[in-house]
Every structure is written in structure tokens, then in C-alpha cells.
Amino acid sequence: MQSLRNMTLKKSCVHNTFCVTTFVLLSTHFVLLLLYYK
């Protein structure tokens, strides 16, 4: 079970990086919108 989880983590490393980048971009966009509407 643990090894399977490790494999999944290694496999989704690139995907995770992509998700983090997207999340950061969305967060920045959201903050800018909040600042804009204040």
C-alpha cells in the first residue's frame, strides 16, 4: 500500500507542479480582483 502511494506521488509530480502553478495564478487573479473592487 505504501509503495503504491509512493509510485502515485512520483507519477503525479509533474501534474502536481501544474496544479500548484494553476492554483497560484488563480489566487493571484482573485487577490487582484479583490483589490480592484475595493
Which three cell numbers, joined as nine digits, stand for 3? 509503495
pLDDT of 38 reads 78
Per-residue confidence (pLDDT) for residue 25, from 0 to 100: 95
**15 residue type, one letter:** H
Number of domains the chain contains: 1
Residue 12 is part of which domain span? 2-37
Tens-level pLDDT at each residue, the chain (38 residues): 567 666 666 667 667 788 789 999 999 999 999 999 87
What does the alpha-carbon distance between residue 35 and residue 38 come to, in Å, rounded to a whole number?
5
What is the model's pTM? 0.52
C-alpha 38/C-alpha 32 separation (Å) is: 10
24 vs 31: CA distance, rounded Å: 10
